[in-house]
A and B are shown apart, each in its own frame.
Chain A
Amino acid sequence: MASRYAFSIDLDRCIGCQACVVACRTGNEVASGDAYITVSEEIRRKDNGFWGSFAHKRCFHCTEAPCVEVCPTGTLTKVNGLTAVDMAKCSACGYCTQACPFHIPHVVDNHVSKCVGCLDQVQAGEEPWCARTCPSNAIRFGEREVILAEAKAKVAKLRERYPNAQVYGETQLGGLGLLMVLLEAPGVYGLPEAPQSSATIQTWKTLVKPASAGLTALAAGVMGLAFVFARRQHAKEHAEVHTAAPVEAAVVETPAQTEENHD
């Protein structure tokens, strides 16, 4: 296995045939009505004109993945550059749906739903279903360095016709595991130029979460120790009160005994 895999999608080659969508749903046995990847035809506005493109909505497999950061159950993890999904662990809390800067993960049937990178196929030495099926060779998969070099070479050629052509995802969020060959600037495709991992989520994860658990445990420990001392102190005081006042001792005796019964 390679150490760091990546997909690439060449929007110059994509013919919008939906073969990848069908292959993905079939190969991964995706529940009816759900899909890990979608391809749609979009009309976009550019330079006061209109222009069409295919839009691939699917996981970008970020290296510094906000969904992995926020996942509390270990369902989402990074494996060889891909964002893997362990469905059995998912609690469907939905935190990933809010953390993802690309709005990719969604919750279906009580678990997360997004591209799983076909890790089972890859580990068996096969290509992911979408790359294997694409008839126009627009979807590629392999060692990230190789895929990136291939995409850059394609962009160099495209620049003759499309001066704004570029590879999307080389550096964003630590480098995306899905590189897009774009004919225009990312904004034209509705892609964020610089997707960010939320600093507030980082604070929550590295500070608030451990502090909540840790301080509770600390408080319980300190109070446990103090209790032993305080209980002894109070027992002593209780005894003093009852022996220091012999006149009242007789009348106080009854409630004192009652309290002991309750202890």
Chain B
Amino acid sequence: MTDVKPGMVQRYKLAQRVVHWLGVGSFLILLLSGLALLVPQLAFLAAGGLSRVFHRIAAFGFMLMPIVYVAIVPHDALELLKESFTYTLKDLKWFKHMPAYVLGSTKGLPPAGRINPGQKIHHAMTFVMFVTVAGSGLALWFGQSALGPEGLAIVLSVHDLSMLGLTVLMIGHMYFTFLYGALPAMTTGFVTEDYARMEHAEWYESLSPQTVAMTESDDQTAA
């Protein structure tokens, strides 16, 4: 975690990366096993309750994710939560440039902090839909017999629509990751200084001199 790499800055600690991939793994299993009850052609995966076994094990991991996050790195978890729900007027300017950013251009993009305004919205929506998908899932798991026809239809609709939202968010998340080559942030934990400057200028500026000194071998003018 204290690795120093020339020309690179650390973006995510090992603990954060572990929590992220726990979320990815459980989410993908939940998505695929859940599709067994949504797409008739995949219904054979549900026969005998096979997909449900995977769905419930993964659901456990998925719901454990925020608990693990808070338990092992409480400061980072709370910071992420706070940042995701804090918006300023400056963010509006960023959103004006967002269409160009979506299409691959960072020109004229106002400098963003550690989490850019688009990511803030992404995280905030993820938080909200995490709660709705988990809540409706728990209702189906433990409270189904008390739902009745109307309750069942409402809970299923909330569950399906939350997954629609989360899946579209995930695709969008991957879109930006691969567009701007940000994958290393979640694999090695380090991003290039180039990436940090272009995407998160304010964050890059705010890094402590030691961090920058540690990660910059010979480049004194870059910042």
Contact = CB atoms under 8 A, between A and B. Distances in A.
Interface of A: 66, 70, 72-74, 88-95, 97-99, 101, 110-111, 198, 200-201, 203-204, 208-209, 211-213, 215-216, 219-220, 223, 226-227, 229-235, 237, 241, 248, 251-252, 254-256, 258-259, 262-263
Given A200-B154, A208-B160, A262-B183, A74 B43 contact: yes
B147 interface: yes
B40 interface: yes
B147 A254 contact: no
Given A212-B163, A262-B192, 17 more contacts: A70-B152, A90-B48, A91-B37, A91-B43, A91-B47, A95-B156, A110-B48, A198-B149, A208-B160, A212-B161, A215-B168, A216-B167, A219-B172, A226-B175, A233-B105, A234-B180, A258-B8
B160 A209 contact: yes
Contact of A74 (B40, B147, B152, B194): B40
B210 interface: no
Contacts of A212: 38, 160-161, 163-164
Contact of A208 (B52, B161, B175, B194): B161
Contact of A213 (B6, B38, B172, B218): B38
Nearest to B194: A255
Given A73-B46, A101-B149, A233 B163 contact: no
Given A88-B47, A201-B153, A220-B171, A231 B192 contact: no
B192 A259 contact: yes
B223 to A, nearest CB: 11
A218 B152 CA distance: 27
Interface string B64-86: 00000000000000000000000
A254 B192 CA distance: 9
A193 to B, nearest CB: 17
Nearest to B179: A230
B221 A237 contact: no
23 contacts: A72-B38, A91-B36, A91-B37, A95-B156, A98-B147, A98-B148, A99-B149, A203-B157, A204-B160, A208-B161, A212-B163, A216-B167, A229-B103, A230-B104, A230-B179, A233-B104, A251-B222, A254-B7, A258-B192, A259-B192, A259-B194, A259-B195, A262-B181
A223 B6 CA distance: 34
A192 to B, nearest CB: 12
A238 B149 CA distance: 56
A110 B52 CA distance: 11
B189 to A, nearest CB: 12
B52 A92 contact: yes
B152 A99 contact: yes
